[in-house]
Chains A and B, each alone.
Chain A
């Protein structure tokens, strides 16, 4: 087991709307005896601004993040797209500023997505959790394409007692969230979410899970509107077992 203290990088949407996902992460770390802390000054990694083209505003968010997390040992986040932002886009934001650029690279090198950290860094594939029922898994784009994380969550899920993993059609097709895209082009965004949800429903699984709350929020929002009876859970909640909190 790594003795490193994990600094929790809690995505803004988790902090404000899905705190139970953050608590579930804590439950898992407690169970595994992994020490952690939480730099409370954190706000947003800057992804919404970056994806909308506002790179100067995103750079301000990046500076804030780097200042706050610089002295940490390792940073773990329950969101693939935020990790992708820190790892891949932070350095791009400072190509004209060598000092900031190297600080950004250093931060990126120690920032991990939750399942990636467990499986790749700590070699943990079974957290001893239980979750009874059929579950299907959505591959978030920045997580699977950007970071190459697809096997890690699956091995963790397969080792949950009582959980049957049923793959959906096109699990790696975008759910239609896309940040501000979802409000700027709602017709297209909702049509994409519907496609995703139809594929989820076709599995017959009672729960859909994933590693990125933004996509899950989009899926949940549309499932709720369509009044479909499928639970939406962040993977941390399943890994936290029966005590994984609400959603």
Chain B
């Protein structure tokens, strides 16, 4: 069995996780759909989508403008082609500043490039300051949701974890636990040498980056330590402040049903004589790490319009059963199923490409209406026929052969009809008293392990038509042309 299915099975066997996922989807998935339906400005989503796509068309120009504006204010900008380039640069900044402790703001791209282990290997202490990420870090676990990383844990588990790791008395009272974390994190934030964050949006026109949060730790992480390094996926850019306003509104609504998050931090560079607040150094690391390749392919470019709100996780019926760990990626849920294979290998993540029903709920809920099902089907096409462009080989030659045979059959009516008759003869031994087939061999056992299957009917509709209806119709409507 593949790892995706194995992890899925584990998740399905956990009543606690199932309950959490239900609560999450009932509240945030349905909430977002209701928000979109009732939003006064029904054009906003289309408008932002359009601006996202337009900005991708002009990405080179916008990034140059952003870099120019950040540098003009004394910030440093580094373009990292690969994850390793981004890691190397960040490590160099840390070494140059003799950094011993890094406080982090919640960031997906930091996980994507794997910066934490690299810093730790260098003897630097890394502390997540987002409460959810902090819990995950304490537990030595992995996040299972883009916005709510510890959705797979309940407060009892967190209480036990805190008792064990923070040496406090056990409690599962959320405010008490939050205060305990706050106390720990305050000390870290006040003594850190470097703040490391992601970047929700960068604005080319102003040369600032924005970070949304509800706990305020990101603001501390970007202002208290003497050095701030922001990691930015290169597509996370808007051209103007006006576009920025609308995009943030969709981001916070999609993520947490908020018109605006509690904090939106605008960070524009290091402190200066006339603006003494903030870090002494500000570094913006703009990361490609496979995005340019996606950008170059019109079939998949649209996925770069994603604003990482995580709303698609809150409605996906597959994510809603299996949770985030099965995706084995920084990015889970429907967006993860598309972006992970594109960034990290289509063959390697074939089960993410194939493990959805294409139901379309993710496209409906997406604030910028990204057609993820279309791209899942396109990814499957790469697996079906191989692709040089994506360095993808045929995933399942037996399946491909099967569909070749299928094609031969369904384009030849006499063959198709004959095979149905043969199937009807062979199936007889499998039909149970309830007129159902309840066990089959090979790949078909995937159906019958958990479900019954109705047999091929004694007479197909086509046979019934010939016997009962054709002549009747011919008599009633003599002008009807003879069928093939």
* A interface, CB within 8 angstroms of B: 5, 10, 14-19, 22-23, 26, 35-41, 43-44, 46, 48-57, 60-61, 63-64, 68, 71, 141-142, 145-146, 173-174, 176-193, 195, 217-218, 220-222, 224-225
Contacts and interface: CB of A to CB of B under 8 A. Distances in A.
Given A18-B454, A192-B317, A50 B377 contact: yes
Nearest to A63: B411
Contacts of B400: 54
Given A38-B465, A174-B317, A61 B452 contact: no
Interface string B379-413: 11111110000000000000110011011011101
A23 B384 contact: no
Contact of B450 (A56, A68, A225): A225
Given A49-B407, A61-B410, A185-B8, A35 B484 contact: no
A173 B317 CA distance: 7
Given A17-B456, A44-B410, A195 B354 contact: no
Q: Of A39, A146, A189, A217, which is in contact with the most chain B CB atoms at under 10 Å from its CB? A: A189
B374 to A, nearest CB: 9
A23 B380 contact: no
Contacts of A40: 413, 462, 465-466, 483-484
B364 interface: yes
Interface stretch (B91-99, B143-151, B267-275, B474-482): B474-482
A14 B456 CA distance: 10
Contacts of B9: 187
B317 A19 contact: no
Contacts of A220: 452, 454
Contacts of B385: 53-56
Interface in B439-484: 443-444, 446-447, 449-457, 459-462, 464-466, 469-470, 473, 476-477, 480-481, 483-484
Contacts of B229: none
Q: Of B364, B443, B450, which is in contact with the most chain A CB atoms at under 10 Å from its CB? A: B450
Interface stretch (B101-109, B165-173, B355-363): B355-363
Nearest to A142: B360
B457 A17 contact: yes
Interface residues of B, number: 72
A43 B384 contact: no
Contacts of B363: 145
Contact of A225 (B420, B438, B484): B438
B464 A187 contact: no
Given A17-B454, A221-B453, A35 B413 contact: no
Nearest to B468: A23
Given A55-B381, A187-B9, A192-B318, 17 more contacts: A10-B461, A16-B456, A22-B464, A41-B483, A52-B380, A60-B410, A61-B410, A68-B484, A145-B363, A178-B356, A179-B357, A185-B4, A185-B354, A186-B447, A218-B451, A224-B434, A225-B438
A178 B451 contact: no
Contact of B364 (A5, A14, A145, A189): A145
A11 to B, nearest CB: 9
Contacts of B135: none
A141 B380 CA distance: 19
Contact of A181 (B356, B382, B411, B481): B356
Contacts of A187: 5, 8-9, 12, 450
B182 interface: no
B436 interface: yes
B318 A141 contact: no
A117 B8 CA distance: 40
B384 A54 contact: yes
B477 A182 contact: no
A19 B460 contact: yes
Given A53-B380, A60-B407, A191 B321 contact: yes
B430 interface: no
B437 to A, nearest CB: 9
Prevailing SS type, chain B contact patch? helix
A247 B413 CA distance: 26
Contacts of A55: 381, 384-385
A170 to B, nearest CB: 9
B359 A174 contact: yes
Nearest to B1: A187
B322 interface: yes
Contacts of A182: 446-447
Q: Of A177, A187, A192, A224, which is in contact with the most chain B CB atoms at under 10 Å from its CB? A: A187
A50 B399 CA distance: 13
B361 A57 contact: no
Contacts of B484: 39-41, 68
A186 B322 CA distance: 13
B361 A48 contact: no
11 contacts: A10-B461, A16-B460, A19-B461, A26-B469, A37-B473, A54-B384, A57-B403, A145-B364, A173-B359, A182-B446, A188-B8
B299 to A, nearest CB: 11
Q: Of B322, B357, B364, which is in contact with the most chain A CB atoms at under 10 Å from its CB? A: B357
Contacts of A146: 360
Contacts of A181: 354-357
B187 to A, nearest CB: 43
Nearest to A41: B484
A19 B457 contact: yes
Nearest to B452: A224
A14 B434 CA distance: 19
B459 to A, nearest CB: 6
Contacts of A222: 450-451
A186 B450 contact: yes
A174 B317 CA distance: 7
A55 B317 CA distance: 25
Contacts of A60: 407, 410-411
Nearest to A50: B377
Nearest to A140: B359
Contacts of A23: 461, 464
Contacts of B409: 43
B334 to A, nearest CB: 12
A96 B420 CA distance: 34
